[in-house]
């Protein structure tokens, strides 16, 4: 019997409860678990463990604080047109304090936060959305009479885990750019210790959910990089798996919004796409449920690098990106086995061949980027438009 069948059989009652509570079929529920398992990069069959953990674990108490932000992170998580996801989130976590979603207000809200913290001391998950103003003693943001800087420290003291959701909380985001008049800072900077960060403006809700579900399934937070980002979501450049990558490699670029290349789905590099210097899984995990290609580049806009400190809201939107490296997309066959045997003579030869190919690719890349897309220029000349390439690199 497979693990999934065990979940079906042993957990039949709980799955029926899920059906009733959420108005979801088992298939839809298990699909959700499979999506989370895939998002986390877990091996085949892990969806059953995820389903079991969600079903049998006590929902973790979540205290969610809002500071300097636009509430886009919450909005992205609870999109009105996506009732299934909204219900699932509220079934996976016990959202005990969230200023924009809770019914309570004023003293009642304050009491709810204090009660949840006391009842779940050392066990609750603190989620922080928004940057924290630190200039002038942190006086620029107060909630219930408490300064943001004090609230975050108070709530973090007894939390089992702290998650900074969105770019504002992760690295300062939009409020921290430019002259930064309020001294907007990240959660990690204010607490003086690393926290898990889920950057993005807004971040993909599945990255947050997968992080929480990892905590439920394995009793610990997922492995993170030096910036606190879960590796399952932020270890590859967007450019590595972009659906327009073949056009990049072939030197086919959109030169202006609405031109022939743009209409044909060409690469957006010359319109300032920051995919080549931005680490995130946007190109492999669409946003929400609105269908395929539901991410900035899929919709025809260059990535602005919203997840990446020093890129998003910092570099001019249409400035061409720094090319970090020239790696083949993930779907290309691997040269070296990831598990099992070490490198063989044959694979060593193949690595050497790859290095040569990469060198060749770099030459082609330089050539292609330098071409300024002759076809586009010719088309503009035909239409009598300006033919000067404005986006020379």
276 binds, among ligand SF4, ligand F3S, ligand FSX, none (CB under 5 to 8 A by kind): ligand SF4
Beta bridge partners of 125: 62, 161
Q: Measured from the CB of residue 390, what is the shortest distance to ligand SF4 in angstroms?
A: 17
User: Which member of 97, 171, 266, 295 binds ligand F3S (CB under 6 A)?
Assistant: 295
Does 306 contact ligand F3S by CB under 6 A?
yes
In this structure, what are the phi and psi dihedrals at residue 353, rounded to the nearest 5 degrees?
-65, -40
Give first-to-last CA distance, the chain, whole Å. Answer: 58
d(CA 38, CA 355): 30
Does 303 contact ligand F3S by CB under 6 A?
yes
d(CA 326, CA 323): 8
Q: How far is CA 171 from CA 26, 80, 112, 133, 161, in A?
A: 39, 28, 28, 12, 18
Q: For ligand F3S, which is the closer residue by CB, 102 or 265?
A: 265
166 binds, among ligand FSX, ligand F3S, ligand SF4, none (CB under 5 to 8 A by kind): ligand FSX
Indicate the helix (H) or strand (E) that contains 369: helix 345-371
Does 238 contact ligand SF4 by CB under 6 A?
yes
Does 275 contact ligand SF4 by CB under 6 A?
yes
Q: Do the Cβ atoms of 218 and 230 come closer than 8 Å? A: no
Q: Measured from the CB of residue 128, what is the shortest distance to ligand FSX in angstroms?
A: 9
d(CA 80, CA 131): 25
Nearest Cα to Cα of residue 98 among 77, 83, 82: 77
71 binds, among ligand F3S, ligand FSX, ligand SF4, none (CB under 5 to 8 A by kind): ligand FSX
* Residue range at the interface with ligand F3S (CB under 6 A); choices 28-36, 74-82, 114-122, 304-312: 304-312
Which residues fall within 8 angstroms of residue 112, CB to CB, at 6 or more apart?
96, 97, 102, 104
Beta bridge partners of 98: 64
Does 298 contact ligand FSX by CB under 6 A?
no
Q: Measured from the CB of residue 9, what is the shortest distance to ligand FSX in angstroms?
A: 41
Q: For ligand SF4, which is the closer residue by CB, 32 or 269?
A: 269
Binding site for ligand F3S (CB under 6 A): 200, 238, 278, 280, 282, 295-297, 303-307
Binding site for ligand SF4 (CB under 6 A): 238-239, 242, 244-245, 248, 267-269, 273, 275-276, 297, 303
Binding site for ligand FSX (CB under 6 A): 69-73, 129-130, 166-169, 173-174, 201-202
């Amino acid at each position: 019997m497979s693990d999934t069948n065990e979940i079906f059989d042993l957990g039949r009652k709980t799955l029926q409860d899920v059906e009733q509570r959420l108005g979801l079929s088992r298939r839809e529920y298990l699909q959700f678990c499979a999506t989370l398992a895939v998002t986390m990069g877990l091996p085949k069959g892990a969806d059953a463990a995820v389903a079991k953990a969600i079903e049998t674990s006590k929902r973790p108490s979540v205290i969610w604080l809002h500071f300097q932000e636009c509430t886009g992170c919450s909005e992205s998580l609870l999109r009105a047109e996506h009732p299934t996801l909204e219900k699932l989130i509220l079934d996976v976590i016990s959202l005990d304090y969230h200023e924009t979603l809770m019914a309570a207000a004023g003293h009642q809200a304050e009491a709810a936060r204090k009660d949840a913290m006391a009842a779940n001391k050392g066990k609750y998950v603190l989620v922080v959305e928004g940057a924290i103003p630190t200039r002038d003693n942190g006086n620029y943001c107060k909630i219930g009479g408490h300064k943001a800087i004090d609230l975050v420290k108070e709530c973090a003291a007894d939390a089992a885990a702290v998650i900074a959701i969105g770019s504002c909380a992760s690295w300062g985001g939009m409020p921290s750019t430019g002259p930064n008049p309020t001294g907007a800072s990240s959660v990690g900077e204010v607490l003086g210790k690393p926290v898990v960060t889920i950057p993005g403006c807004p971040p993909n809700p599945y990255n947050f959910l997968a992080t929480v579900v990892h905590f439920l399934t394995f009793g610990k937070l997922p492995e993170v990089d030096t910036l606190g980002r879960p590796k399952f979501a932020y270890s590859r450049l967007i450019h590595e798996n972009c659906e327009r990558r073949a056009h990049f490699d072939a030197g086919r670029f959109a030169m202006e919004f609405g031109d022939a290349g743009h209409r044909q789905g060409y690469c957006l590099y010359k319109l300032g796409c920051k995919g080549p210097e931005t680490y995130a899984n946007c190109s492999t995990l669409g946003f929400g449920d609105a269908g395929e290609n539901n991410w900035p580049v899929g919709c025809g806009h260059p990535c602005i690098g919203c997840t990446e400190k020093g890129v998003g809201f910092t570099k001019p939107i249409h400035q061409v990106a720094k090319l970090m490296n020239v790696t083949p997309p993930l779907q290309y066959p691997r040269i070296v086995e990831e598990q099992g045997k070490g490198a063989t003579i044959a694979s060593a030869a193949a690595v050497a061949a790859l290095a040569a190919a990469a060198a060749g690719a770099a030459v082609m890349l330089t050539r292609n980027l330098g071409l300024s897309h002759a076809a586009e220029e010719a088309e503009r000349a035909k239409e009598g438009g300006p033919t000067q390439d404005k986006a020379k690199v």
